[in-house]
């Protein structure tokens, strides 16, 4: 998950999708070539 302790300087999202009923947003991250979860309550 991306969060306050992530080592990357920043995320460059190419797509975002909210997960209904949770604080999670799934992000297609161009920096990592991965799909990552962002917890919007703790970020």
C-alpha separations of 20 from 7, 23, 32, 35 in Å = 27, 8, 24, 17
**Overall pTM > 0.75:** no
pLDDT at position 29 is 79
* Pick from 20, 17, 21: nearest CA to 38: 17
Give the pLDDT band of residue 2 (cuts 50, 70, 90): low
Angle formed at CA 26 by CA 23 and CA 29, multiple of 5 degrees: 140
Q: Inform me whether the pLDDT recorded for 34 exceeds 90.
A: no
pLDDT at position 8 is 62
Average pLDDT over residues 4-18: 76
């Amino acid at each position: 998950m991306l969060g306050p302790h992530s080592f990357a300087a920043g995320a460059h999202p190419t797509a975002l999708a909210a997960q209904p009923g949770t604080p999670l947003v799934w992000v297609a991250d161009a920096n990592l070539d991965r799909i990552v979860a962002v917890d919007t309550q703790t970020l």
